[in-house]
Amino acid sequence: MATRSLPPAGFILSPDEFSQALEAKQAEIDARLWENIGSLVGKEQDIQELAQSFRDAITEFNGFGRWQLAALDAGRDHAGARRSWDELIREIKELRELHAGYQPGFIKHYPVIVEEPTVEIQKKIAEEILVHLRNGGELRERKSFSFSRAIRKGWRVAYESWRVNDRAPEAVEEFVAIERLLSIKIKRAAIGKIWDRLMASNAGPAFADLGENPERGADQFAHQITEALNWLDLRWFPPIKKLCAMGCHWDRFLSLQPFHKDGETLRSIVAVDKKLFAELRLLEKRVLGLGAQKKLEGAFKQLEPFDRPEVVELRRAMQLPNAVGYQQARKKCVEAAERQATVLRRNELLGRLGRRTPSGMPIAEEWAASIRNRVGVHGKPKPPGDATEAWEWRQLNDELERRGTVDLGEVGGRIAAIHDELKRTTCELIDQRAWAGQVRRTSLKQRQALMNWLDTVKRIGKGTGKRVPQYRREAQRLMEECRTAVPVW
């Protein structure tokens, strides 16, 4: 039985995977809303992330005020209601830039105006005065039949109420500051009307409550207004697009939801919150089940080649299908695999114990056979003694027996031969080390003299040449120089 193989652990499904496969058919989803669900197997994380995207968007939506909801709803209509909000943002930006450009003149001249007559009439008068002055006219004109000068009657009421640096304006640049301040006032009034219709009427702050320079306060809301206008395009429609890519029929889903009195946006958000989250949970469960069912079919095919009783029982539980029976059969397979691993390890160790050395000597062949066949004390559940001590004793005993077979005479001969070899090697070592020391003590000049002496002796040869006496004298001289390099000279 131990030799009959068991399937690897990867071939056997976990109890959770088997249960998911059984529950796959129970997780029924509305077939009218979904198609090609099989393509989502393995994409359970995408479903969870999509649900979280909707959840985050709804949380953000629930934190909006009335004016943000109004802007959000207007953002759906790019050609109609949104235009007013876009115009408001554009006008606020233009007013801020205009005021920033006029600010140096305001600081220099400090223009002051009054509310009466109306700013529109005052602006018209200021423009007439500027045209008159720029064409070479004088502010105070001479009266007919009189030498006195005076402001035109039609300009007088407005002129007398204007001040620059706490006095009446006189120069062109001072009237320019007055005219620009009036332009700012008129533009503020126009923006205020739009602001109050869109913001104040939807529980937002009134334009008059935004301070002395209301465009600054309004500009702080511009970013939030833009976010609200674009919220559907940036935060709501993208998850819906992903949902449709997963095979959901969004329009059909929305058509099945009840009417909402506050518009299509609220209807879709309530539908997601009340219905879609539950559908996504069922979808995830169904997809997990389909994946587990696919694994179950693959695992069943992988288990077919194995014929051990435990595997046969496991396949039978997979066919029924029976979750409790599968869990019990799987447990038996796991236990059988553990027992088989133990048996295979036992056989491996016994094989190592029973092998022979390269010389053919058995290591513990009889001991291994007794353990393998469970002979005598080796057939009991526990070993007869300490296996480590037994193995050490066996090694020592074998070593003593090996030493007892050695020929002492042969050993003595080998010792004598090694002793003679040691003496010879020692003599050679002494000789080589003596010459090495002599070489270290010999100077460069002595080595050169020694080489020249040797060369001169070679030239003397047989001693019959004409220059032999000269060479002999040279050799004698060189010998005197290098005699210390050769200990015997």
Helix or strand or coil: residue 149?
A: strand
For residue 445, the model assigns a pLDDT of 76
Tell me the residue type at 27.
A
With 0.75 as the threshold, say if the pTM is over it: no
String of DSSP letters for 373-440: HT-GGGGSSS-SS-HHHHHHHHHHHHHHHHHHTS-HHHHHHHHHHHHHHHHHHHHHHHHHHHHHHHHH
pLDDT of residue 56: 94
Q: How confident is the model at residue 144, as a pLDDT?
A: 56
Q: Is 218 helix (H, G, I), strand (E, B) or coil?
A: helix
What radius of gyration do the chain's Cα atoms show?
55
* CA atoms of 262 and 64, how far apart (whole Å): 15
At 485 the pLDDT is 65
In this prediction, the residues of the chain whose per-residue pLDDT falls under 70 are: 1-4, 8-10, 20-28, 78-79, 142-149, 483-489
CB 333 within 8 A of CB 310: yes
Cβ atoms of residues 449 and 478 within 8 Å: yes
Phi, psi angles (nearest 5°) of residue 339: -65, -40
Backbone angles phi, psi at 152, to 5 degrees: -55, 145
Contact 44, 322 (CB under 8 A): no
Task: Decide if 60 contacts 272 (C-beta within 8 A).
Answer: no
Q: Name the DSSP letter for residue 164.
A: E
Task: Give CA–CA dist 51/39, Å, rounded.
Answer: 18
Give the pLDDT confidence score for residue 1 in this predicted structure. Answer: 46
Q: Which pLDDT belongs to residue 51?
A: 93
Exposed, middle or buried by CB within 10 Å (0-12, 13-18, 19+), for 46? middle
Chain-centroid distance, C-alpha 400? 66
Cα–Cα distance, 170 to 300 (Å, whole number)? 102
Model confidence pLDDT, tens digit, residues 439-462: 787 777 777 777 888 888 888 877
